[in-house]
Amino acid sequence: MAVKLHRCRSLWVKGPHPCWRVQKALDEAGVPYELVRHPVRRSRREEVAALTGQRALPVIELGDGRIVRGESSDLAARARGGEFGESAGGPTA
């Protein structure tokens, strides 16, 4: 799988939650992805900090190693627009 969604462990939280917003957009766009869960508390997100230089989630990691980070509403819009599908660095399946 070429796309990885880095999000918090709170999978049960819906609504305006940023991680859920991006995951829902990927699901709606039919983009296959691997879910990588991280601690809810920012102070414990060392792996995210090493990956992106910051501790904020969500983060999308493309198959070619590129990291996509931004506001969740922007990431969701980009996912719905097909930016993270097959044309984004190769096949995702």
**Rounded Cα–Cα distance for residues 84 and 93 (Å):** 12
CATH number of 4-80: 3.40.30.10
Peptide bond into 58 cis (omega under 30): yes
**In the predicted model, what is the mean pLDDT of residues 22-29?**
95
Model confidence over 3-23: pLDDT tens digits?
999 999 988 877 789 999 999
- pLDDT for 60 equals 97
Helices (H), the chain: 18-29, 46-52, 72-80
Model confidence over 31-65: pLDDT tens digits?
999 999 999 899 999 999 999 999 999 999 999 99
CB neighbour list of residue 23: distance below 8 Å, 6 or more residues apart: 5, 7, 35, 58
> Could you state, in order of their start, the residue ranges of all structural domains in the chain?
4-80
- Identify any residues that bridge with 68 across adjacent strands, giving them in sequence order: 60
